[in-house]
């Protein structure tokens, strides 16, 4: 006879992502009994520390440290070993930090809703039923595989997770899709020594960015030796022994490129399959995301969805902010919402990184804004000697400023330390700090932020 263990909690968290674990810690500290269910012991802490932000950015660091005399395969294997050591430590720390609390329990297994307050985890003698007054769903997202003949079943198809867990560097990597993930991996693996080809269906890379900025990105990637093919529609993947051939069409011609590994980088979808959300009465969108309001409540008022699974921007820091919103509902005044988010930055971690925030010049002009624009190549910014001290002078800085109010409307920073500079700019945008104030502020020297002294000087003077 099979016996099912039943656990009753105040809060059930499904998924060990950034939002879920942050909320779980705060709720246990507030005296709530919390049970967190994570389907894989390899994902304690979520995507970011295991297969996302941390390992990929560590690979960026390692790949840029590779010397010409280093053996590519040996150097890559050593880099992967370093990544594994760090991610294992983070994973262990995430588990122990939460499960070690008196009022928290971490269960490893796949959760499936039985009713709006209950999930079943596991089967047979290992089955556990968890019932809670409040439920947080934080299951994240998963890669989408485009419907290209031969791709899904190809042994050469790899996900981003597969790539960073392999010990062997693919000699020829083909990336399908020239978005953030695709370009980041293209840059990383090219710096490790792989031959990399990016196949992008649009006429240019980064269609949401201004064309002049996207062109500098393209120039840098091509300068690193990455082959970029735009206007390319992939029509088939044909395996041929130890390699595969990716067939694509461009301008009416059928062309192909051989590869040892093929990375589809065409987007991710919310991971809701298997949750049996129908039993919980939780509604989803046609794209599979869980429907939420501005407070992240689902169609069931006691169920919240945090992170990628709710269809919002797929960033770890958004998942963190989701936790703040939910915690304000459960422990605070209930005022915080997604509508509070202003000037949220993002970064493409190529080398050097591209960080953006706010409106592009194109978007501002389409809105009829009265703007002034400053654009300066990093190599020409006299007030930014750090670029020369670290021998990375490639890139461009571009700002869009409201000519009537002197407020910054947007920025595109393609430079060393861009991922840090953009946070200063975003904070200024949220609090109506003017371009003049940014221009005349005191920054440490030599730093990348002090470039604002020079670049904004041109913006402000042209608007006066």
**What is the domain-level CATH number for residue 372?**
3.30.390.30
What value does the mean pLDDT take over residues 283-307?
A: 97
Whether the full predicted model's pTM is greater than 0.85, yes or no, is yes
96 and 189 both lie in a single domain: no
- Tell me which residue range forms the domain holding 186: 160-265
At 458, the pLDDT band (50, 70, 90 cuts) reads: low
54 and 175 both lie in a single domain: no
Under DSSP, is residue 458 helix (H, G, I), strand (E, B) or coil?
Answer: helix
245 and 393 both lie in a single domain: no
CATH of the domain at 318: 3.50.50.60
- The answer to whether residue 11 is domain-embedded is yes
400/374 Cα distance (integer angstroms): 7
Among the three residues 216, 241, 265, which one is the final residue of a domain in this structure?
265
Residues designated as active site: 445
What value does the mean pLDDT take over residues 362-386?
A: 96
Query: Does 223 belong to an annotated binding site?
Result: no
Q: pLDDT at residue 337 above 90?
A: yes
- The answer to whether residue 150 is domain-embedded is no
279 and 408 both lie in a single domain: no
Among the three residues 265, 290, 319, which one is the final residue of a domain in this structure?
265
At 1, the pLDDT band (50, 70, 90 cuts) reads: very low
Query: Does 358 belong to an annotated binding site?
Result: no
Closest CA to 80 of 160, 157, 169: 169
Instruction: Round the average pLDDT of the chain to a whole number and report it.
Output: 94
102-106, Cβ contacts within 8 angstroms, sequence gap of 24 or more = 103/28, 103/31, 103/32, 103/33, 103/34, 104/24, 104/28, 104/33, 104/34, 104/35, 104/36, 105/7, 105/9, 105/34, 105/35, 105/36, 106/16, 106/35, 106/36, 106/37, 106/38, 106/44
- The answer to whether residue 155 is domain-embedded is no
359 and 401 both lie in a single domain: yes
Query: Does 46 belong to an annotated binding site?
Result: no
Q: What angle do CA 16, 17, 19 make, to 5 degrees?
A: 115
24 and 82 both lie in a single domain: yes
Query: Does 141 belong to an annotated binding site?
Result: yes
Query: Does 410 belong to an annotated binding site?
Result: no
Residues 43-80 pLDDT 10s: 999 888 888 889 999 999 999 999 999 999 999 999 99
- In the chain, the number of structural domains is 3
What value does the mean pLDDT take over residues 272-279?
A: 96
137 and 249 both lie in a single domain: no
Token pair 């990597």 is found at 173
Cis amide bond preceding 446, omega within 30: yes
Query: Does 335 belong to an annotated binding site?
Result: no
Residues 409-433 pLDDT 10s: 999 999 999 999 999 999 999 999 9
What value does the mean pLDDT take over residues 204-227?
A: 97
103 and 192 both lie in a single domain: no
- The answer to whether residue 281 is domain-embedded is yes
What pLDDT sits at residue 3?
59
DSSP letter, residue 112: E
86 and 165 both lie in a single domain: no
Q: pLDDT at residue 461 above 80?
A: no
What the block records as the tokens of 24 is: 């779980």
10 and 135 both lie in a single domain: yes
Task: For residue 9, give Cα distances in angstroms to 12, 117, 253, 299.
Answer: 7, 10, 61, 21
What pLDDT sits at residue 459?
53
15 and 99 both lie in a single domain: yes
Among the three residues 340, 375, 398, which one is the final residue of a domain in this structure?
340
What value does the mean pLDDT take over residues 368-373?
A: 96
What pLDDT sits at residue 52?
83
- The answer to whether residue 152 is domain-embedded is no
Report CA torsion sign: 272, 278, 284, 286. Answer: positive
Q: Give the highest mean pLDDT range of 157-166, 347-356, 450-459.
A: 347-356
């Amino acid at each position: 006879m099979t016996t099912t263990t039943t656990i009753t909690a105040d809060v059930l968290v499904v998924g060990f992502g950034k939002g879920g674990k942050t909320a779980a810690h705060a709720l246990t500290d507030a005296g709530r009994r919390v049970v967190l269910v994570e389907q894989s012991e390899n994902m304690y802490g979520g995507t970011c520390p295991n297969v996302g932000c941390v390992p990929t950015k560590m690979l960026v660091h390692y790949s840029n440290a590779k010397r010409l005399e280093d053996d590519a395969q040996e150097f890559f294997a050593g880099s992967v070993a370093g990544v594994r050591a760090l991610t294992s430590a983070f994973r262990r720390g995430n588990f122990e930090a939460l499960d070690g609390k008196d009022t928290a329990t971490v269960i490893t297994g796949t959760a499936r809703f039985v009713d709006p307050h209950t999930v079943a985890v596991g089967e047979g003698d290992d089955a556990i039923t968890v019932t809670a007054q409040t439920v947080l769903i934080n299951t994240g997202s998963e890669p989408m595989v485009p419907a290209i003949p031969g791709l899904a079943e190809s042994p050469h198809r790899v996900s981003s997770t597969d790539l960073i867990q392999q010990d062997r560097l693919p000699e020829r990597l083909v990336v399908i899709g020239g978005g953030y993930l695709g370009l980041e991996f293209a840059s990383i693996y090219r710096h490790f020594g792989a031959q990399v080809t990016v196949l992008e269906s649009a006429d240019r890379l980064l269609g949401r960015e201004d064309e002049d900025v996207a062109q500098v990105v393209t120039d840098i990637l091509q300068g690193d030796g990455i082959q970029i093919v735009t206007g390319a529609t992939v029509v088939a993947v044909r395996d041929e022994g130890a390699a595969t051939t990716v067939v694509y069409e461009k301008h009416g011609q059928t062309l192909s490129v051989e590869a040892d590994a093929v990375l589809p980088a065409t987007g991710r979808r919310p991971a809701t399959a298997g949750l049996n959300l129908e039993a919980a009465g939780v509604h989803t969108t046609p794209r599979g995301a869980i429907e939420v309001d501005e407070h992240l409540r689902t169609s069931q008022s006691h169920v919240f969805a945090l992170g990628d699974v709710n269809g919002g921007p797929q960033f770890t820091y958004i998942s963190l902010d989701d936790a703040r919103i939910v915690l304000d509902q459960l422990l605070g005044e209930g005022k915080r919402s997604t509508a509070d988010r202003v000037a949220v930055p993002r970064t493409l971690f190529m080398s050097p990184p591209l960080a953006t925030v706010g409106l592009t010049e194109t978007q501002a002009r389409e809105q009829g804004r009265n703007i002034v624009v400053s654009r300066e190549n990093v190599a020409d910014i006299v007030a930014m000697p750090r670029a020369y001290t670290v021998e990375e002078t490639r890139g461009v800085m571009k700002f869009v400023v409201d000519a009537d109010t002197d407020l910054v409307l947007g920025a595109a920073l393609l430079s060393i330390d861009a991922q840090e500079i953009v946070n200063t700019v975003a904070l200024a945008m949220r609090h109506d700090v003017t371009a003049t104030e940014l221009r005349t502020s005191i920054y440490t020297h030599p730093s990348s932020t002090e470039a604002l002294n020079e670049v904004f000087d041109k913006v402000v003077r042209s608007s006066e």
